[in-house]
Structure 1
Amino acid sequence: MTYPQLLTPEEKLADAKERLNIPRIVAICGSTRFMDLMTEVDLIETANGHIVVKPGCNMKQPHSLWNNPADAEVLKARLDDLHRAKIRLADEILVVGDYIGDSTRSEISYARSLGKPVRFTHPDVDPGEPDDADNEEA
């Protein structure tokens, strides 16, 4: 006798989104120096019928929540965890801007490790798959 295969959490989420007729979810990633572009891309993606999640805090701008360096460090770690959760929730990520820093590179790698499609507003900055660099050296 065979038993039905249990769904993974990812499969359960995809099934639930389909059953609930949830529109495509796009996670916007990129340096917060591009917050204005993120807002514009959010508008376009929303007008195209997508649910958009993106960074909600720009720690490059002064704010009382992160004036204290110790508070800022704790908040940064919490925001990084929150953004990874947004990536897990999303159907795809959209990277904005013409610059990819370490944090964004890490988010791209994470999304790809989950099998998420990755789009770019500036495709020439795509760092490629992690193995791409290894293959170029061979």
Structure 2
Amino acid sequence: MTADTTPPRPQIVVLCGSTRFWDALAEAALYETAAGRIVLAPGCNLKQPHPLWADPARADRLKHVLGDLHLRKIDLADDVLIVNPGGYIGDSTRREIAYARSLGRPIRYTHPTPDHT
């Protein structure tokens, strides 16, 4: 392909939400991908046992690294999809929403909440 025939870059969406809803995050990623979007999502579920975060001190450090990494994903994204079954939004997701808003990113929600319109 040449520059003249290269299709435009697909929209990039970042998924935000509690990893307690890991299956809902995966489902949202599936639908967003099928809609032709590039999906950025949490890559680790610290609520599931794994040797990488079996040590509590290591898990705590990793949680902070992953939180900052997710903000960088928001930097890259064109818009944000909040995966919030039952309207649930935890502290980390609230932080991500505030950050996305500070960047002017459009925000969508999978479920209604009293906190957004």
- Which one has the largest radius of gyration? 1
Q: Which ranges in structure 1 are unaligned for 5 or more consecutive residues?
A: 1-18, 130-138
Equivalent in 65, 80, 95 of residue 106 of structure 1: 95
Give the aligned length: 110
Q: TM-score, normalised by structure 2?
A: 0.88
| Distance apart, 1:128 and its partner CA | 4.1
| Distance apart, 1:50 and its partner CA | 0.3
SS at the partner of 1:124? coil
The reply on whether 1:57 has 2:44 as its aligned counterpart is: yes
Alignment of 1:1-138 (within 5 A): 21-97=8-84, 98-125=87-114, 127-128=115-116
Q: Which ranges in structure 2 are unaligned for 5 or more consecutive residues?
A: 1-5
SS at the partner of 1:123? coil
| Distance apart, 1:99 and its partner CA | 0.6
Map Cα deviations across residues 94-127 of structure 1 (whole Å, 9 max, x no partner).
00122101100010010000000000001225x3
Q: Distance in 2 between matches of 1:114 and 1:20?
A: 26
Map Cα deviations across residues 25-61 of structure 1 (whole Å, 9 max, x no partner).
0000000011101111111111110000000100011
SS at the partner of 1:107? helix
Native 8 Å contact 2:82 2:109 kept in 1: yes
Q: Distance in 2 between matches of 1:67 and 1:22?
A: 39
4+ residue segments displaced more than 6 Å: none
Map Cα deviations across residues 1-25 of structure 1 (whole Å, 9 max, x no partner).
xxxxxxxxxxxxxxxxxx9721100
Native 8 Å contact 2:88 2:113 kept in 1: no
| Distance apart, 1:81 and its partner CA | 1.0
The RMSD of aligned alpha carbons is 1.7
The one of the two structures with greater contact order (alpha-carbon pairs below 8 A, sep at least 6) is: 2
Paired-residue identity, %: 58
Which residue of structure 1 aligns with residue 3 of structure 2? none
